[in-house]
């Protein structure tokens, strides 16, 4: 990879709760090149959104964030300041918009405040952005409120709002979850187009492995706050190395089959008390004695997996 | 429209649990009125899983909300167990309906009261009308949490400290603890990772087999619908443009919009 635009090394985030401290992100490394799309996948609750919020500087004040390196385009992150050149699209479009302001007003706001557009120019640009997101009748729709939009339309408006910030890094936290497959395909095509045209780096958080296979350059798989596997998209999907990644791929419905879906048994560890060794060992069919004694090393190769199965000295299946 | 004959209707009885006839719903008044549901017809038989797919903004959630009494409708009729539902629900109608029908929402966070603990959220409906002792109720709540792969210690936590997927599972537990006859799921699994999706889908299928639960499942993932649903209906701009057996509709789509939907589905593995 050329010099990465986003460079995160050893990121850890802890969140205090009434019942103890949650170690939501543990020792995470992430690198994304300019114009590259990295997909972050993993079990719900594994820390994907918290990682994204840490990069954006959106975590609550009570959160403790620490990283060895955290740079975007050589500028330091995690400074507690709002990151102007990073925009984020959230999992929940309803929470993105203020219910008492029109959609158009909220998209125009960053244009006026961050980029010095006049009111009229900002309105123009807003309509253009909405049209670009394939919202029919954009001028009319820009005068409406969030509750008058369907889930899918609202998510497209949220993407328009993110683009109004003219970001260099776009963090998309499940941006197409609420969209039908044909709108989803259109939005993904648009995001890919923007990525190429503006050389945008993208961190794409998703559960949809089908979308990942079509759009992402690389995949990082997260489990219990750690990245446990990372490699090019085709490498991860065709040759998953970590048992957790394999379990994820096995859970997909198979065409023309009525066999029961292969759900992973058990649940991930309580992140208030993260296991000292491999976090997945408890649910892993291939666990060995060493897995519950020592943390597997981070393998830094073109296809990295954090698993004792792939360490020298132990046979590979 | 495709004839329904030839499609084996599975279920405990062949009777129709829910019958929707020529349902029309507008938003706004006078010149500004927009027709969101345009003469929608749909039947759901007891014990059946019916999928509802379609364009975003086509009116799927609105239809679900009309059935649950969260929206009034303008004309047409909705029958639940042959009883005509009022066009506009009173508070009493609403409580009556809530015992028979529960809904899981697309957006888990905004459908859970942020000021209540998970325990209160789950037990609230039981406290109001249940013969169970407080201890039994708590046991029941813990059972449902565990069935959703959550922990009993989660009972005392508040919604904001859960991830999206965890919240969705709490929403499902809240709906099922009331043992409804019909469960409307408005995109219940889109926010979940594929392994938890599989868990929930297996669970919904089991509940249908064990308890004869009837499901209306709104979703975008056609591969999952093919796996889960007995029949599917496809909505486009406020109308159901095609309905029938899942395999028929997805393998031999008749309507142009269904074809578009099937063709843009990301094919994987
Ligand atoms: N504000 C908070 N306070 C305390 N704990 C939190 C907070 N936000 C998240 N958590 C916890 O941190 C962990 C990681 O949550 P996160 O939202 O990052 O998960 P996620 O990977 O995005 O999951 P999903 O796919 O379901 O969205 C979870 O166990 C969650 O309960
Ligand atoms: N309260 C409201 N006032 C005015 N218009 C509304 C209201 N609620 C929904 N609409 C409009 O009704 C249409 C249908 O919305 P609905 O939420 O039912 O769509 P949907 O099929 O569920 O879409 P999605 O897949 O995106 O969730 C949309 O055009 C939306 O803008
Ligand atoms: Mg998340
Ligand atoms: Mg909807």
The domain limits of chain B are 108-179
Of A78, A130, A70, A142, nearest to A105 by C-alpha is A142
User: Does any domain span residue A303?
Assistant: no
Burial class from Cβ neighbours inside 10 Å (0-12, 13-18, 19+) for residue B202 reads middle
Same domain, A172 and A254: yes
- Specify if A283 maps to a domain: no
Does A119 lie in the same domain as A20? Answer: no
Least confident range from A61-70, B167-176, B208-217, B221-230: namely B167-176
Q: Strand A69-72 vs strand B214-218: parallel, antiparallel, or unpaired? A: unpaired
Q: Give the C-alpha distances (Å, rounded to integers) separating B132 from A17, A113, B119, B124, B169.
A: 32, 57, 16, 13, 23
| A222 lies in some domain | yes
Q: Are residues A173 and A260 in the same domain?
A: yes
| HSE-CB of A270 using CA atoms within 13 angstroms | 11
Spatial CA neighbour of B62 closest among A98, A16, A187, A151: A151
Pocket test for ligand 1, best of B108, B151, B157, B163 (most atoms within 8 A of CB): B163
The answer to whether residues A77 and A221 belong to one domain is yes
Q: What is the mean pLDDT of residues B159-185?
A: 86
Report CA-CA distances (Å) from B12 to A3, B4, B16, B177. 62, 19, 11, 21
Residues A5 and A85 sit within 8 Å (Cβ to Cβ) = no
Q: Which of A25-39, B101-115, B211-225 has the lowest mean pLDDT?
A: B101-115
* Shared domain check, A174 and A245: yes
Rounded to two decimals, what is the model's pTM? 0.85
Contacting residues of A for B196, CB less than 8 Å apart: 43-44, 263
Which atom belonging to ligand 2 lies closest to the Cα atom of B58?
Answer: 21
In a domain, residue A279? The reply is no
Cα separation, A93 vs A75, whole angstroms: 29
* Whether A171 and A246 share a structural domain: yes
Kindly report the CATH number assigned to the domain that includes residue A77: 3.40.50.300
Inter-chain CB proximity B107 and A249 less than 8 Å? no
Does position B31 have pLDDT exceeding 90, yes or no?
Answer: no
- Overall number of domains in chain A: 2
- B14 falls in which pLDDT band (50, 70, 90)? low
Inter-chain contact A153–B57, Cβ cutoff 8 Å? Answer: yes
b (16+ CB within 10 A) / e for A32-64: bbbbbbbbbbbbbbbbbbbbbbbbbebbeeebe
Range of the domain at A68: 6-85+167-178+197-269
Residue range A152-163, pLDDT digits in tens = 788 889 989 998
User: What confidence score (pLDDT) does residue B6 get?
Assistant: 44
For the stretch B124-168, pLDDT in tens is: 877 776 677 888 888 989 999 988 878 888 898 888 878 777 888
Residue A254 is assigned to a structural domain of this protein: yes
Ligand 1: does its nearest atom lie under 6 Å from the Cβ of B57? no
In-domain check, residue A296: no
On whether residue A276 sits in a domain, the answer given is no
**Residue A104: what pLDDT?**
95
Q: Is the pLDDT of residue B9 over 60?
A: no
Least confident of A29-43, A222-236, A245-259, A298-312: A298-312
| Whether A55 and A174 share a structural domain | yes
* Residue A95 maps to a domain: yes
ipTM of the complex: 0.76
Q: Which residue of B has its CA nearest to A260?
A: B202
Q: Are A124 and A67 part of one and the same domain?
A: no
Tell me which DSSP letter residue B266 carries: -
- Whether A201 and A79 map to the same domain: the answer is yes
């Amino acid at each position: 990879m050329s010099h990465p635009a986003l460079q995160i090394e050893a990121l850890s985030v802890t969140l205090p709760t009434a019942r103890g401290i949650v170690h939501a992100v543990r020792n995470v490394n992430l690198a994304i090149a300019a114009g590259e799309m990295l997909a972050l996948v993993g079990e719900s609750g594994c820390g994907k959104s918290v990682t994204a919020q840490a990069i954006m500087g959106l975590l609550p004040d009570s959160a403790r964030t620490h990283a060895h390196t955290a740079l975007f385009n050589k500028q330091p992150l995690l400074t507690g300041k709002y990151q102007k050149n990073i925009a984020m699209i959230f999992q929940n479009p309803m929470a993105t918009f203020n219910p008492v302001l029109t959609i158009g007003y909220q998209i125009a706001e960053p244009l006026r405040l961050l980029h010095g557009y006049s009111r009229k120019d900002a309105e123009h640009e807003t309509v253009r952005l909405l049209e670009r997101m394939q919202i029919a009748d954009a001028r009319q729709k820009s005068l409406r409120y969030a509750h008058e939009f369907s889930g899918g339309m609202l998510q497209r408006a949220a993407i328009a709002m993110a683009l109004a910030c003219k970001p260099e890094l776009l963090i998309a936290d499940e941006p197409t979850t609420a969209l039908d497959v044909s709108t989803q395909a259109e939005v993904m095509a648009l995001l890919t187009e923007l990525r190429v045209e503006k050389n945008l780096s993208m961190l794409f958080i998703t559960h949809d492995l089908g979308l990942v296979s079509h759009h992402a350059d690389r995949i990082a798989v997260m489990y219990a706050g750690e990245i446990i596997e990372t490699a090019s998209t085709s490498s991860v999907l065709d040759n998953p190395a970590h048992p957790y990644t394999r379990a994820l791929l096995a859970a997909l419905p198979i065409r023309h089959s009525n066999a029961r879906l292969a759900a992973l048994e058990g649940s991930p560890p309580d992140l208030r008390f993260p296991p000292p060794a491999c976090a997945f060992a408890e649910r892993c069919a291939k666990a060995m004695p060493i897995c519950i004694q020592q943390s597997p090393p981070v393998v830094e190769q073109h296809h990295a997996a954090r698993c004792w199965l792939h360490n020298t000295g132990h046979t590979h299946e | 429209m495709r004839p329904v004959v030839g499609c084996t209707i599975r279920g405990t009885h062949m009777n129709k649990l829910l019958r929707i006839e020529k349902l029309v719903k507008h938003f706004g008044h006078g010149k500004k009125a927009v027709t969101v549901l345009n003469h929608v017809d749909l039947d759901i038989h007891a014990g059946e899983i019916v999928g509802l797919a379609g364009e975003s903004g086509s009116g799927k959630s609105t239809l679900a909300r009309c059935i649950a009494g969260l929206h009034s409708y303008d004309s047409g009729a909705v029958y639940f167990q042959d009883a005509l539902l009022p066009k506009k629900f009173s508070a009493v109608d609403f409580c009556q309906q809530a015992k028979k029908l529960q809904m899981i929402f697309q957006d888990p966070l905004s459908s859970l009261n942020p000021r209540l603990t998970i325990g209160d959220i789950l037990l609230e409906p039981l406290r109001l009308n249940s013969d169970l002792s407080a201890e039994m109720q708590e046991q029941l709540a813990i059972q449902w949490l565990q069935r959703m792969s959550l922990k009993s210690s989660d009972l005392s936590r508040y919604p904001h400290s859960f991830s999206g997927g965890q919240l969705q599972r709490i929403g499902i537990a809240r709906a099922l603890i009331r043992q409804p006859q019909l469960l409307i799921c408005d995109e219940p699994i889109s926010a979940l990772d594929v392994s938890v999706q599989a868990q929930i889908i297996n669970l919904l299928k089991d509940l249908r087999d064990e308890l004869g639960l009837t499901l209306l499942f709104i979703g975008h993932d056609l591969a999952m619908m093919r796996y889960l649903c007995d029949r599917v209906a496809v909505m486009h701009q406020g109308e159901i443009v095609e309905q029938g057996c899942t395999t028929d509709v997805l393998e031999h789509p008749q309507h142009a919009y269904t074809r578009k939907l099937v063709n843009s589905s990301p094919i994987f593995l």
